[in-house]
Amino acid sequence: MDGRSYFDVPVPHKDKMFENATALSQWSHVPWEYENPPVFTSSWWEKVDDPGWKTYMRLHKNIPFYAAIVYLVVIFGLKAYLKNRPAFELRKPLVVWNWTLGIFSMIGFYRMSQELVHVLSLPNGFHKSVCVREGLNEPLAFWAVLFALSKFVELGDTLFIVLRKQPLLFIQWYHHCITMCFVWHIYPYSEPIQRYYGVMNFFVHSIMYPYFALRAMKIRVPRRLAMALTSLQLVQMVIGVLVNMYSIYVLSVRHEFCARDSYTIKWSIGVYSSFVLLFADFLINRYFPKNKPKSL
């Protein structure tokens, strides 16, 4: 790489009606230039080398897979180790953990949703929000990078479950592994549709983590709130499928340009469809039970 770091490599790319992974394989990432002047300005600490991170993720695409392997070995190894041992309480660390991630998610949602709402308010806004690379600004890029990196941090959720000897469900560890790999792999493609992934996830987590924090604090939370939260997660996954279907419609039926890639479309449809099925099944079994969800 001519002695330069991954964070110093400028990468050209030409948009086509339908981008494909072959095109990206020639480069480190797909550029998306900041708007000038920006509609939303960054705080002094919201600084990020967005092209550098995209290049790094592209050239180190196996990192999340290695992390997933280590994660699975650790959680199932700990589960086996603790089988005949007492559980850890960890109530205070769990409260701190959940409030920290909850506040982080609230800030991320606030900063990213501003840009999405602005784009949606423009003429033909929904189409632009999915298919057109416009409106990128430093706060959006900063929180998008943190969103991708936070998926590694959130693996810690499962450690608390295992160490406290709570039921470990398939949906929990599958969701963490797949989301981490998914976000890392699609981010270098700089697709406008990714703003939906970040905003929706931050929104759900800004409710979910405080909910778990309150439970860890032994504050009684209505069961209906838990059901509403699971329903909200399901809605998130359905919207993920729908916005992807819209981009397919634009490309395949209208035969118009959309800043999507065949590789990321397959990833997105596969991931969100599997999440729809899993969260729907979880919702039905947990709140309309015939059989309780099985733990592993």
| Count of residues making up the chain | 296
For residue 296, give both structure tokens: 């592993």
Q: Output the DSSP codes for 68-96.
A: HHHHHHHHHHHHHHTTTSPPP--HHHHHH
Q: For residue 113, give every residue at least 6 positions away whose Cβ sits within 8 Å of its Cβ, in sequence order, or none.
A: 199, 202, 203
- Residue 13 falls in the annotated catalytic set: no
Strands (E), 80-234: none
Burial string for 166-176 (b: 16+ CB within 10 Å, else e) reads eebbebbbebb
For residue 207, give both structure tokens: 């409710």
CA 149 to chain centre: 9
- Are the C-beta atoms of residues 139 and 109 closer than 8 Å to each other? no
Distance CA 215, CA 74 (A): 25
* Catalytic annotation, pick one of 175, 176, 185, 205: 175
Q: Which residues are catalytic, by number?
A: 175
